[in-house]
Chains A and B, each alone.
Chain A
Amino acid sequence: MVGIKAYGGYVPRRRLPRSVILENTSWFNGALKAYSKGERSMCNWDEDALTMAVEACRDCLDMTRPDDIRAIYIASTTLPFTDRQNAGVLGTALNLGQNMMTMDITSSQRAATSGLINALSVVQGTGGSALFATGEHRRSRTANTNELMYGDGGAALLLGSEDVVAEYVGAGQIAVDFVDHYRGQNSDFDYNWEERWIRDEGFMKIVPEAVQAALDNTGLSAEDIDHFVMPGTIRNIASMVGKRCGMREEAARDNLHNVMGEAGTSHALVMLVDCLQDAEPGQTIMVIGWGQGCDALIFKTTDLLPTMANRQGIKGHLAHRKEESNYNKFLAFNGLVEQDGGLRSETDKQTALTTLYRNREMVIGFVGGKCSQCGTVQYPKSRICVNPNCGAINTQDNHRMAETSATIQSWTADNLTYAPDPPHHFGMVTFGEGGRMMADFTDVDEGGVAVGDEFRMVFRIKAADEKRNFNKYFWKAAPKVQA
């Protein structure tokens, strides 16, 4: 029985109310006012598809690192690297070792669901487990409808053949080169066609075909579907399609438009994780992936589903909300305005790839050392133990620092240094299992930081080397997600 062994989700903490967007854009396009309700999630300046995927995977793995993971996939159309495997960075960040298959899946809003079908068949064939992640950080022009419709987010699923919380029942797939929107190579933004055509000729005709194929392949009927997970920014589209397919009216899931917007390729899995957080054991879920055709996957939850209760998932992250009322910040974080960073921002940020390779576990994986002689945990890992009463040489074993608590010993809010979101908060944090570091903070509330606060380390962009188009990643301390 292959299926989902665990799930995780991620939604950036910042939420931009659509009313804030409209205050700044409706002067140009009054028709946008039709979308004034709710809010969208937005990445902090240091988040992207990859960082969100890392956090979703950490939520999914819940501090464990199963040793039978044989593959890592990441699906997204907004990956930070076009030619440097993003799944490889993901695996390094998670300390999952190197004896596995890693793969990026991209180029369509359907990448996540098609990739997932594929990954499930591989797991079925090879055994072991696989980690399937998504993250999407979509950009749009100011005053474009997409700006109001889109959101940022990610999800992760651990796939396997034992102890699954949702069994994979089967799928149906339809391939049609129906171009409702596209983004060409080197383009920053999507180009969209008329919504009414997309609804009538696209969703209403193509999705039912895939749904039927999935039902035919699994021997189920439309009425068996308890949860119909279908992304789509057209109002009530899931209900309309569900009805046409003969599903029960209550099956159609909320598309989370009001609370986060649509997270592109990630959104099918974002909605699936949100659904799994609601579902009861023994329920049947159909997940739709749309984009130049359609995927329809069917899962059936098992009695193990309640064991997932400690995941934050999508619901926990949605609750960990921080409202952003500054539209200009949204523009700046998304590179949509020419901002003067000041002379201090001009410092060269070249990365020595040789140094990064030697220290990839330390930098990307946040691996420190633990002295086998005295037990002292330390970061960075070094040749001679830092404990003044030890000093043993070459005794340090790798020690993962990311999953322990990080308590603030001292901190400041720095207005002088260049930071994309000033004042820059940073401070000395001490780790639960020993060790400490002077760490950058992120996602903090100004005025809301205090000595003794327990934070959590998160994988983020340390700095963007814009000259060479290279994101530098490292770990920062952030307020804990408390749902």
Chain B
Amino acid sequence: MASGIRDKVAILGMGCSKFGERWDCDAEDLIVEAYAEAMEDAGIETSQIDAAWFATAIEEVHVGKSGVPLSVALRLPNIPVTRVENFCASGTEAFRGAVYAVASGAADIALALGVEKLKDTGYGGLPQRGSGPLNDMIKNNGSAPGGFAQLATAYSEKHGVDMDTVKRAIGSISVKSHANGVKNPKAHLRKAIPLETVLAAPMIAAPLGLFDCCGVSDGSAAAIVTTPEIAASLGKQERITVKALQLAVSNGVESAHNSWDGSYFLTTRKAAERAYKEAGIEKPREQIDMFECHDCFSITEMVTMEDLYISNEGEAWRDVLDGFYDADGEIPCQIDGGLKCFGHPIGASGLRMLYEMYNQLLGRAGERQLKDPTFGMTHNLGGQPHQNVSSVAIIGREGA
């Protein structure tokens, strides 16, 4: 295996806009908000950035294609800017591009920035768009919750967990994330909700109710990365380094071959296995201190807890109900409120997750601060359960 990315790249600074229905903002405003914070944190000038990666997924509803919108918004000095799109992993993909550029020596300092301005469509939920002329002829009709809801029916069937228990477990996931989101000033939704409210909510796509779905919002997040040596030379005493960056992409097996049972994410398992190996983590349930997973829907989070090998297969619902993932549990999950409370401006989400892990590792998380975390993990899942991209990133204290 390749030597991997572990400890080769450090995070110099990060920024994150306030997420929400930013009726007052264009994408440009959000970009600048996240960028300004990241630059202040990094303590550098724009002229010191060698290259940039720009993530946005549904560009046709806001900035349009290419790296130009970022370069123009930030008046970057004609450096390389690459626009990336890989479904909901787009933000993490921008981070991967920037990190690899530094690791290769092609750049000393690189910027990763993701943005999505979703609230200009005129309706709630994610915009539904075409997927190419042939796909549009043979692909099913259905919303994002409709696709993910099916994890619940397949999971319930496979593990013999009755749907009421599944509903209660995934409902508790949303309750937990809302409780965390209350403490986060940058979150979109900041209101604690009781389980009864979750269970009584209108059905969006059976069995997922309104509170099983993450919000849709506008937002931006950014990371500036460099080598640990340059970070040290710029005065960074406590350095957070990248331990692993993995991506796994479906190849059609889940959607067209009968070996997949519909109850889990094949890609997440592959990405997690490779990430743990890259980071030198052998027992994730003992070594990972906290993680942000892609809770686009509550059932996605529950299944992912197993696919990241934190909970045993078929037992995540029990860990959830036991409070294992609560803020005061063994491994807090979505300590910042998650997609559930931040909403999901697609290009920004992966970087928003890293922003929380980074601040927690540096002890800057305020009311939400966890005790001495060493490793933080983030996970994105884009597409549908039967055809998707999944990313896993692990960051931690340098040398850990």
Q: Which residues of A contact B (CB under 8 A)?
A: 342-344, 347-349, 351-352, 355-356, 359, 362-363, 376, 378-380, 382, 386-388, 409-419, 423-424, 426-428, 430, 434-440, 451-452, 462-463, 472, 474
Contact = CB atoms under 8 A, between A and B. Distances in A.
B150 interface: yes
Nearest to B134: A355
Given A427-B150, A437-B256, A451 B157 contact: yes
Given A344-B125, A409-B262, A410-B262, 20 more contacts: A356-B137, A378-B256, A386-B253, A409-B261, A411-B150, A412-B153, A413-B205, A413-B206, A416-B145, A416-B146, A417-B143, A418-B141, A423-B203, A427-B153, A428-B150, A428-B386, A435-B258, A437-B138, A437-B255, A474-B137
A371 to B, nearest CB: 11
B143 A438 contact: no
Given A416-B146, A430-B258, A434-B258, A347 B128 contact: yes
B133 A415 contact: no
Contact of A343 (B122, B205, B255): B122
Given A410-B153, A411-B153, A386 B128 contact: no
Interface string B72-92: 000000000000000000000
A74 B151 CA distance: 43
Given A415-B203, A417-B146, A439 B255 contact: no
B129 interface: yes
A359 B262 CA distance: 28
A386 B261 CA distance: 16
Nearest to A342: B123
A414 B125 CA distance: 13
A135 B391 CA distance: 51
A344 B129 CA distance: 9
A436 B258 contact: yes
Contacts of A342: 123
A438 B255 contact: yes
A424 B141 contact: yes
A309 to B, nearest CB: 33
B128 A451 contact: no
A386 B256 contact: yes
A351 B133 contact: yes
B160 to A, nearest CB: 12
A474 B140 CA distance: 10
Given A347-B128, A413-B206, A424-B141, A386 B150 contact: no
A416 B133 contact: no
Nearest to A369: B256
A89 to B, nearest CB: 14
A440 B140 CA distance: 5
B149 interface: yes
A435 B133 CA distance: 22
